[in-house]
Structure 1
Amino acid sequence: MSSLETSSEALPTDTQNTKPLRIRVLNLAWPVIGENLLETMLGIVDVALVGVLGVSAIAGVGAAQQGLYLLISILAALSIGCAVLVAQAVGAKDLARAGRLARQSLLWSVVISVPLVAIGFIFSRPVCQHLWYECGGDRDRRGLFACDDGHRRGAGGVFIGSGVLRGAGDSRTPFIVTAIANIINVPLAYGLINGAFGLPNLGAVGSAWATFMARAVALVLLLMALWQGRNGVSIRQGLSWRLDLSVIKQVLTIGVPAAVEQILTTLAFTALTVLVGGLGTATLAAHRLVITITSFAFLPGFGFAIAATSLIGQAIGAKKFADIKPIARIAATWSAIWMGAIGLLLIAFAPLALRVFTDDQAVIDAGATALRVLGLVQAVWAVQFVYSGGLRGMGDTRSPLVLFAGGMWLSVGVAWLFLRLFQGGLVSVWSAFLITTPVIAGLMVWRFMQRVQQLK
């Protein structure tokens, strides 16, 4: 706990702002990358632990998680909107406003999460039946959804709390909290799934209970951090706990386009999967593995994008407009270096990367060329991610919505066209990104520069 307590009243903003921009970007980005890596690994470990119980157990966990993905997309409106406004308030040294934004976002996350949790529990049985998942009996199914709904409620607070802290310039605390949650979750999940360590044998339901308890601990730790204060931002000092519609309106004005962007992007990936579904089982399996591997490759880009959002938001609040372009350039350069290096590794070792997940040669053959194609555009994606994050930091979430989500759906259309024209396999689908990604990245940079010019 000492790591969480060391910045009880955190460093003054002036002290932070005197650090070189490169150091500030890196200090914010690496904990986010580590946190996202831990979250990704946790999902893989949970599936592996449940996998020993059979296909129905895996399917049941997958069904329960669909509600979580929906909730995360909805809460993105709160998390991103609050993070941007908190960053701008910190930059303007209006710490009272930053604390008020933090408290209101946490309150509204509860207001939004509770009815969704109730709906998830009530409709757990028809959802499972509609998705054709046999979750091992009605009692197990409802138990799985019940504790997973509790997990969703905790996840809402964790999601918002982490966003507030990053907006305040503290990405280390969410990283530390996520690490602690993972340390709790993995042995607890193993024990509850298999009845080990003297714990009850709950089967697949044990996975959801373990995640729920780990999330509860994470939520408590994040609330403690926000109560103590980070970079002067606290939910404790002289603020009302009553819901304030004016605050949530400001948050949602920025956050809703970001949430819509996430939803449309998720649907675009779903549409790609539908296109690939007609190419055979091995190709579909390869497609899913390509997405999994690419999610690891994206981690540096997401980390530097969040750093750009926070630091550019603070620069906007402080009216230090001259810092905006250098922040974006530094973040984009480092992001491109890391993702470009990962891209080279994907090109060189694509079959080996796939072999980590499967020994099926047909799947490896189908996925290797697609991975190499994606390796070619990693550095370009890095630039797109960072400048999208920079636009969000300026309070412009509509441009990333139009360009990012629009680019994804353009890629779906090009992929469909390639399949029609060339009768190709998985490589035809992913080759669409060779055409669309440079165009969207270029437009994102152009829009960013245009917005910076408007500030002068």
Structure 2
Amino acid sequence: MKKERKLSLFVLTWPIFIETLLYMLMGNADTLMLSQYSDDSVAAVGVANQIVFLVIVMFEFIAMGTSILVAQYVGAKDEKSTAEVSLVSISANFLFSLLLSLILLLFGKQLLYVMKLPAELLHEAYSYLGIVGGFLFVQALIMTIGAILKSYGYTRDTMYITIGMNILNVIGNYLFIFGPFGIPVLGVQGVAISTTVSRVIGLIVIFVLLVKRTNLSFSPSRLVSLPLHHVRNLLKIGIPSAGEHLAYNTAQMLITYFITWIGTEALTTRVYTQNIMMFVWLFGIAISQGTQILVGHFVGAEQYEDAYERCLKSLRSAIIISIAMASICFAFSDSLLSIFTTNKQIIETSKTLLLLTVILEPGRSFNLVIINSLRAAGDVKFPVYMGILSMWGVSVTISYVLGIYFGLGLVGIWISFIADEWLRGLLMLWRWRSRVWQNKSFVHQNIGTA
């Protein structure tokens, strides 16, 4: 391991912020550029991407466990275990993602049939899914290696790679959609090729950086002799975290179903409001991920008081920033909403929701920062249990009671979000202050019984 680097929350956080912002702004680049080519092509890629995004979420299970274990071992200055976990993670996610990529390649058409895709869109959707899905293992490797580099503190490396991949993707899209210089117009197929090629180039660069930064050896003899107990620990972190994400997404799907009862205008209002709110979330997400790395290092080094204080300091920063950003969004809500719509009813309802967001976002900050800190310390089950209870017992229930039964509509649903975030947030704060997490570290427990 190379000489110790002094890491601060700001040094770790600003590249994560920019990287996340790029994912938000550029994640739909294929769709936006295809809209200039064909509306049918946009629809085809949109449906195919639903399958792609679901599979990518499955890759995050191992990546999440990787980031936490590597951070703890880096903090403990255990070079041998750090290298082992890194190699095991890359190997496991490669094999898992290769299997899923083959399934998408071989059975992509059947999956699109299941989604009731109109016949006229099937060819383009399968063309996209076959190329992007067939090479999805490349994205899994990028995610895993990126998690390792971030846990070492090299967040700028992953940011630069994300910037480069997005630039290459946009250039490729332009070439294949608009066909300058006599280049053949390939439409959806060209977009799929552009996406895949940019990812392959990104993987090559991030792999070179990994070897340079960590001196990992990928010799066949080393890979064969890797201890498998690290896989168990990766799954002990990844599976509960996946359960929490699954609980949240299914709860949000049910709430969206409730909103359909209110009407199309309500669905549109929610989309526009959340598009603005995403820029408030960004700061909390970046701070929470930077905090997770630092807490993991402190826990690995058994500096529990530093870990404790780091989480609370980050929480204070996240709350202040979230209130400030939510207030700014409300103050300029007329201008922001006019970008999306001229419908006065949608704008007035969205303004009310953005006002409620000033109360909602500090509660979300509790969950983003403290849950990531608990995970970094190895306390992964408590946030899942409380999350499922609160998201389904509070958010879903109150959404129906206030939003539908009492007829408050989106305002009632936003109140349910506030109740859920604040209840969970205060429970997470209680858990952090109890210091139970100090006995949960994977590094300092008997491997396999953590």
Q: Of 262, 266, 272, which residue of structure 2 is paired with 1:279?
A: 262
Q: Of 350, 362, 384, which residue of structure 2 is paired with 1:367?
A: 350
RMSD of Structure 2 on Structure 1 (CA): 2.3
Q: In the alignment, is residue 346 of structure 1 matched against residue 367 of structure 2?
A: no
User: What per-residue deviation string (whole Å, max 9, x for no partner) do you get for residues 116-135 of structure 1?
Assistant: 11222333223333334347
1:133-212, aligned counterparts within 5 Å? 133-134=117-118, 136-212=120-196
Question: What residue in structure 1 maps to residue 383 of structure 2?
Answer: 400
Secondary structure of the residue aligned to 2:223 is coil
Pairwise CA distance, 1:151? 4.7
Q: 1:113 to 1:135 in 2, by over 3 A?
A: farther
Q: Distance in 2 between matches of 1:44 and 1:115?
A: 26
Q: Distance in 1 between matches of 2:173 and 2:251?
A: 32
Question: What residue in structure 2 maps to residue 241 of structure 1?
Answer: 223
Secondary structure of the residue aligned to 1:440 is helix
Specify the code of the residue in structure 2 equivalent to 1:234.
Answer: L
Question: What residue in structure 2 maps to residue 123 of structure 1?
Answer: 107
Q: Distance in 2 between matches of 1:440 and 1:333?
A: 17
Q: 1:429 to 1:63 in 2, by over 3 A?
A: same
Specify the code of the residue in structure 2 equivalent to 1:265.
Answer: Y
Question: What residue in structure 1 maps to residue 9 of structure 2?
Answer: 25
User: What per-residue deviation string (whole Å, max 9, x for no partner) do you get for residues 383-434 of structure 1?
Assistant: 2210111101101111221233443322122111112332122222112122
Secondary structure of the residue aligned to 2:387 is helix
Specify the code of the residue in structure 2 equivalent to 1:328.
Answer: C
User: What per-residue deviation string (whole Å, max 9, x for no partner) do you get for residues 61-92 of structure 1?
Assistant: 12211222222322222111111110111111
Question: What residue in structure 2 maps to residue 220 of structure 1?
Answer: 204
Q: 1:194 to 1:360 in 2, by over 3 A?
A: farther
Paired residues in the alignment total: 438
Question: What residue in structure 2 maps to residue 96 of structure 1?
Answer: 80
Pairwise CA distance, 1:253? 1.1
Pairwise CA distance, 1:323? 0.4
TM-score, normalising length from structure 2? 0.91
Q: 1:205 to 1:400 in 2, by over 3 A?
A: farther
1:315-394, aligned counterparts within 5 Å? 315-394=298-377
Q: Distance in 2 between matches of 1:193 and 1:350?
A: 35
User: What per-residue deviation string (whole Å, max 9, x for no partner) do you get for residues 132-167 of structure 1?
Assistant: 434745432321111121452221111111111112
Q: Is the 8 A contact 2:61 2:239 kept in 1?
A: yes
Q: Distance in 1 between matches of 2:26 and 2:135?
A: 14
Pairwise CA distance, 1:436? 2.2
Q: In the alignment, is residue 83 of structure 1 matched against residue 56 of structure 2?
A: no
Specify the code of the residue in structure 2 equivalent to 1:176.
Answer: Y
Q: Distance in 2 between matches of 1:167 and 1:373?
A: 35
Q: Distance in 2 between matches of 1:304 and 1:422?
A: 37
Q: 1:453 to 1:90 in 2, by over 3 A?
A: closer
Q: 1:163 to 1:235 in 2, by over 3 A?
A: farther
User: What per-residue deviation string (whole Å, max 9, x for no partner) do you get for residues 273-313 of structure 1?
Assistant: 11111222121122122233322221111111111211111
Q: Distance in 2 between matches of 1:390 and 1:44?
A: 30
Structure 1 residues without counterparts, runs of 5 or longer: 1-8
Pairwise CA distance, 1:362? 4.2
Pairwise CA distance, 1:352? 2.5
Structure 2 residues without counterparts, runs of 5 or longer: 441-450
Q: Of 274, 277, 281, which residue of structure 2 is paired with 1:291?
A: 274
Q: Distance in 2 between matches of 1:141 and 1:66?
A: 11
Q: Is the 8 A contact 1:290 1:367 kept in 2?
A: yes
Specify the code of the residue in structure 1 equivalent to 2:160.
Answer: I
TM-score, normalising length from structure 1? 0.90
Q: 1:44 to 1:69 in 2, by over 3 A?
A: closer
Q: Distance in 2 between matches of 1:202 and 1:383?
A: 47
Q: Is the 8 A contact 2:330 2:355 kept in 1?
A: yes
Q: 1:364 to 1:129 in 2, by over 3 A?
A: farther
Q: Distance in 1 between matches of 2:163 and 2:157?
A: 10
Of 144-153 and 248-257, the range deviating more from structure 2: 144-153
Q: Distance in 2 between matches of 1:216 and 1:427?
A: 45
Q: Is the 8 A contact 1:100 1:235 kept in 2?
A: no
Q: Is the 8 A contact 2:292 2:376 kept in 1?
A: yes
Q: Distance in 1 between matches of 2:353 and 2:408?
A: 11
Q: Is the 8 A contact 2:127 2:188 kept in 1?
A: no
Q: Distance in 2 between matches of 1:168 and 1:312?
A: 12
Pairwise CA distance, 1:35? 0.5
Q: 1:178 to 1:406 in 2, by over 3 A?
A: farther
Q: 1:403 to 1:335 in 2, by over 3 A?
A: same
Q: Distance in 2 between matches of 1:227 and 1:390?
A: 28
